[in-house]
Structure 1
Amino acid sequence: MVTSASKRILLIDDEPDVQWVVQTCLEKIAQWTVITATSAEEALLKASAEQPDAILLDIMMPKMDGYMFLDALWAKPEMQFIPVVFLTAQAGLLEPHHYETLGVKGIIAKPFDPLTLHRAIASALNWELDT
């Protein structure tokens, strides 16, 4: 397992309330750095510049949805190694084999438990928590 200390997470979600909850919880509880993007287009720029350890991705976004983002992200060789976890209200609609064939490491349903979100992310990414 990889340790989760000092992780940098790129959160892509167009809902400010979701961004605030995720960022606050992950920074306070897990001590991770959270980089936010409100659109897939913005996220592509930030992923390239910031080289995050993982990406939390909402599927339903305007203009470029999560699936289109994955195609654009993984079209860049330097981005293919970044693990992605879906954070979505559509979790119940997706079969595990569906997201696995996309190369996504896991799926976390909205609404989620803010106090255990970091554990769900760490589990999906096979990271060992320090606390």
Structure 2
Amino acid sequence: MIEILHVEDDADIREIALIALSLSGEFRVVQCPSGEDAVRQAQGYTPDVLLLDVMMPGMNGPETLGHLRKIPAMIDVPVVFMTARAQQSDVDQLLSLGAAHVISKPFDPLLLGEQVKGIIQEHTPWKIAV
């Protein structure tokens, strides 16, 4: 199973992502409604990939990533930002923070699982047998 830590403040988007990722049966998804919750959840948990919303109240996605990277087990976990602000300058800024990929919202639920698998294969190929 591919372990995903998904951080998204919008309950509807969390549900759509969970359904989309559950379709294949290849993912175990832990969801958090806030960056603060994600930092708490990440203690003692090492996912294969982080899916982080960018714009959230309180701790936004980049701030959440900064806190998660302080946890030794999270230093090398690939991060994918999901954002409605997907102009090239926004994407470039997220990539400069160490993002492996940026997925634009609204995302295609039918493609989300394959996108995530491709990102993991690209960044940690030993985790997924082709």
TM-score after normalising by structure 2: 0.85
Gaps of 5+ in 2: none
Q: Trace 1:108-123 onto structure 2 (pairs within 5 A).
A: 108-123=103-118
CA distance in 2, matches of 1:49, 1:72: 14
Distance 1:94 1:13 in 2: 22
SS in 2 for 1:63: coil
Q: How much has 1:106 moved relative to structure 2? A: 0.2
Matches within 5 A, 1:13-92: 13-92=8-87
Q: Percent identity?
A: 33
SS of aligned partner of 2:103: strand
User: RMSD between aligned alpha carbons?
Assistant: 1.9
Q: What is the alpha-carbon distance in structure 1 between the residues aligned to residue 109 and residue 129 of structure 2?
A: 16
Structure 1 runs of 4+ with >4 Å offset: 127-130
Q: Output the TM-score relative to the length of structure 1.
A: 0.85
Separation in 2 of the partners of 1:96 and 1:120?
16
In the alignment, the residues of structure 2 paired with residue 115 and residue 30 of structure 1 have an alpha-carbon distance, to the nearest angstrom, of 13
1:124 pairs with one of 111, 119, 124: 119
Question: What secondary structure sits across from 1:44 in the alignment?
Answer: helix
Residue 3 of structure 1: aligned partner: none
Name which of structure 1's ranges 115-124 and 8-17 shifts more when overlaid on structure 2.
115-124
Structure 1 unaligned residues grouped into runs of 5+ = 1-5
- Distance in 2, matches of 1:74 and 1:57, equals 13
Give the Å deviation of 1:13.
0.1
